[in-house]
Structure 1
Amino acid sequence: MITEEQMAEFRKLLDESERPMFFFDDDPDGLCSYLLLKKYAKKGRGVAVKSSPVLGAQYSRKIQEYGPDMVFVLDKPVVEQDFVDEARVPVVWLDHHPPVHLSGVSYFNPLLNDEKDNRPVSYWCYRITGQNQWIAMAGCIGDWFIPEFANDFAKEHPDLLPAVVEQGQMLYDTPMGQLSRILSSILKGSTSDVVSCISALEKVREPEEILNGTTPAGRYVLKYHKKINKVYEKLLHKAMEASGNDDFLVFTYPMTKMSFSGDLANELLHRLPGKFIIVARMKSDTAAISMRSKSHIIPPMLKLALEGLGGYGGGHDHACGGSIVVKDFPVLVERLREMARHN
C-alpha cells in the first residue's frame, strides 16, 4: 500500500509545482492517472510514452522544450537513470510494477510496503486527489482491477456499471468498460492525433459526454475511437480464427503504425480464459509481445524462457509484455509452451 503520509507527500509535491510535466504509460491506467492529476492541479503538460515500457534519455528533449519545474512519471515500469540525470529538475515517480531503485527520484510504489499490493496507478491518483471517480474507475477497469469503491459507483451510476461483476465482464460487457476501451483506442495513431484526443479529454467532465457524444469534445473522442476500432476488430477476428484446440494461442501480425497487442491479448483472454495467450507485433528485426494467462504466473516463466535470447520482458503475475529479436521468437514461444504444459 501507499500510506496516507506518502499520499500527502505526493500531493504536496504536486501542489507546490508551478509548472509540472507528466510522462505516462500509453494505456488506460496511465492515461487516467494523468487526467486525474491534471484535472486536480489544473496546470502542466502531459506526454504519453508510446511504443516502449522504458522511459529513456531520448525524452529529456521534451523536458528541455517545456521547461517544467518538476517531472512526474506515471505507470512506467522502467525509467533510465540517464533520463533522471538529464531532467535537471526533481523527478517524482508513481508506479505499481516491480520496484526499481534509482538515485535522485522521489519514488512511490505500493509494492514497497506490501509485496502483494499492485493496485493500479490510477487508483492511487484518485486516492491522492479525491476527485473524478469515473476516471479512476475507467483506469482501474482497464487494468483488470475492481476497486473497493466500485459498489458505490455502481449504485450511483447503474446505467454505467449495472453491477459489480468479474474483471473481464466489467471491461467488455458494461458501458464503463466501453469507456476504458475507448481510452485505449485514442492512444493509438500518430502523435498529433493522440495529442488532440488527450486535449479533448481534458475538457470532458462526465463519461456520458464520450459514450453518448453529447459535447464537441466527447464527439471528437468517440469519432476517433470508431475509426481505430475498425482496424482492431479485423485483427481480433483473425486472432480468434487462429485459435486451435490446445490451450496455447499464438497470434502474430505485421508491424503497423498502431500497436494492438495488449488490447488483443486482454480480449482474447476474456473470450478464451483457459488459454495461454501470446500476441506479437512483428517488426523487421524485433517482435513486441504481450502475454496473458489466468492459470499461470508469467514473470518467472518469462525470465527463464528469455535466458540466452535477445530480449527482455516483465510485468504482472497474469499479464506481461516484452520485446525479442525475431529470430529468437519461435524459441521463446516453444519454451513458454513447454513450461505452461508442465505447470
Structure 2
Amino acid sequence: MLTQTELTQIREALEQSQNPLFFFDNDVDGLCSFLILQRALGRGKGVAVKSFPELNAQYLRKINELNPDAVFILDKPQVGADFIEGVEEKNLPLIWIDHHEVKIPKKLLEKISYYNSFPTSEPVTYLSQKVFNREQDLWLAMIGCIGDVYMPDFGEQFSKQNPELFPNPQTPAFDSIYTTELGKIIQMLNFGLKDTTTNVLRLIKLLIKAKSPHDILEENYHTRPLHKRFNEINKTYQQLLSKAKAQIKKDEKIIFFTYAGETSISAEIANELFFRNKNKFIVVAYKRPEKINISIRGQNAKKITEKAVNQIEGARGGGHEVATGAQIPSDKWEDFKEILKKLV
C-alpha cells in the first residue's frame, strides 16, 4: 500500500493541475481509477490505452491535441521510454501510478513521479479512492477492485448498502465476478471499453455523471449504447466460451483455446475458464495476422509466462501471480505451446 505521504503527494499534484490528462489501462481498474480522480477534481480528460503491453509514443499525439498541464498514467505496467521522453520535452509533470511488479530503469524514474503499491499490489482503483476518500465514489472503487480480483476493506460497507448487488462480502473477489450483479456491471464495462472511440467517450461521460451502479444496470436512452454493445459482445463471448468448454479434457492439466475475429476478449474467456476449472492452467490465444495476444491463468502463471516468452524471439509478457498476458509472433504458437507443456 502507498503511504499517506505518497497519497498526499498524488492529491497535491492533481489539485495543482488545471487541465490534467489521464492515460489509463483499458479495463475496469484503469477506467474506475480515472473516473474517481476526475470526479473528485471536476476536470480532466481520459484516454483508454489499448496498446499492449506498454503505453508508447503513438499516444503523444493526444498530448498535442488536448494540451494538458500534467500527465497521469494509471494501471499501466510498462511505459515506453519514447513516451516519457516525449512528455519531458514538453516540460510537463508526469505522474505514474501502478500496482504491478515491474523493473523501471533508474534513468526513467528520475524523469517522473512514480508510485507503485507492489508488493501488496492494491489495484490503482483502490489507491485512487484512498487519495480523496469520497463516499459518493465508493461504488466505482468497488467495481474497479472486484474487477481486478481484489476485495477492498470497504467491501462489507458496500454490501450493506447494496445487498442486491453484492450480498456476501465473504465471497472471494474472483467468484463475485460470476455470481453477483456487481459482476455483471464489471462485464458490461469491460465490454463497453471494446467499442469505438466515440462510444467509449460517451460511456465515460455517462459514468462521470452517474450517481450509483443502478444508473448503469437500468436500460434507458443514456445507457442504451452500452447495453447494446454488451449484448453484442456477450453473444460472441458465450459462443466462444461454449467452444472452449467443449475442448476441456479431464486428464489434461492445460486448456489451450484459440480464436480470431474483430474483438479481443481473451482475458474475459480465460478468467471464466479459470473460475470454472481452478485446477487447470488456462491459455487463451487471440490470433491476428502478425501477432498472437495470449491470456494465461493458473498457479505460478507469472513465472511460467516469463520463462516461456524468454525462449521465443520477439515475445513479451508479464502480469500478476495467477493472471498474465503475453504477445508472440503469429508463427510461434506451436513452439509456445510446447514450451508451456514442459513448464506446467
- Interval containing the TM-score (normalised by the shorter chain): over 0.9
1:163 and 2:168 aligned:
yes
Q: Write the letter of the residue equivalent to 1:46.
A: G
Equivalence for 2:244: 239
**What are the Cα deviations for residues 304-342 of structure 1, in whole angstroms up to 9, with x where unaligned?**
2223312000000000001001222222222212221xx
Equivalence for 1:226: 231
**Normalized against structure 2, the TM-score is what?**
0.93
Q: Distance in 2 between matches of 1:129 and 1:219?
A: 31
Q: Distance in 2 between matches of 1:38 and 1:217?
A: 20
Equivalence for 1:259: 264
Structural mapping, 1:286-301, within 5 Å: 286-293=291-298, 296-301=299-304
Greater shift, 15-24 or 256-265, is seen at 256-265
Which of 106, 115, 128 is the aligned partner of 2:113?
A: 106
Q: Write the letter of the residue equivalent to 1:298.
A: A
Q: Write the letter of the residue equivalent to 2:114.
A: Y
Q: Distance in 2 between matches of 1:196 and 1:238?
A: 33
1:176 and 2:182 aligned:
yes
Which of 322, 333, 337 is the aligned partner of 2:341?
A: 337
Greater shift, 144-153 or 227-236, is seen at 227-236
1:274 and 2:279 aligned:
yes
Q: Distance in 2 between matches of 1:267 and 1:298?
A: 16
Equivalence for 2:64: 64
Offset at residue 268 of structure 1 (A): 0.8
Offset at residue 90 of structure 1 (A): 0.9
Offset at residue 193 of structure 1 (A): 2.4
Q: Provide structure 1 residue ranges, at least 5 long, that are not aligned to the other structure.
A: none
Equivalence for 1:317: 321
Equivalence for 1:96: 99
Contact 1:25 / 1:53 at 8 angstroms: preserved in 2? no
Equivalence for 1:7: 7
Structural mapping, 1:203-222, within 5 Å: 203-213=209-219, 216-222=221-227
Q: Write the letter of the residue equivalent to 2:117.
A: P
Greater shift, 195-204 or 24-33, is seen at 195-204
Offset at residue 178 of structure 1 (A): 1.0
Contact 2:53 / 2:317 at 8 angstroms: preserved in 1? no
Q: Provide structure 2 residue ranges, at least 5 long, that are not aligned to the other structure.
A: none
Percentage of pairs with the same residue: 37
Equivalence for 1:37: 37
Equivalence for 1:141: 146
Q: Distance in 2 between matches of 1:278 and 1:238?
A: 14
Greater shift, 5-14 or 234-243, is seen at 234-243
2:259 is paired with a residue of what secondary structure?
A: strand
Which of 142, 150, 155 is the aligned partner of 1:150?
A: 155
- The two structures, once aligned, show a CA RMSD in angstroms of 1.4
Offset at residue 175 of structure 1 (A): 1.0
Offset at residue 96 of structure 1 (A): 0.4
Q: Write the letter of the residue equivalent to 1:249.
A: I
Contact 2:310 / 2:316 at 8 angstroms: preserved in 1? no
Equivalence for 2:50: 50
**What are the Cα deviations for residues 147-204 of structure 1, in whole angstroms up to 9, with x where unaligned?**
1111121112111111120123211111111111111010112222222222222221
2:222 is paired with a residue of what secondary structure?
A: helix
Q: Distance in 2 between matches of 1:151 and 1:63?
A: 40
Contact 2:22 / 2:73 at 8 angstroms: preserved in 1? yes
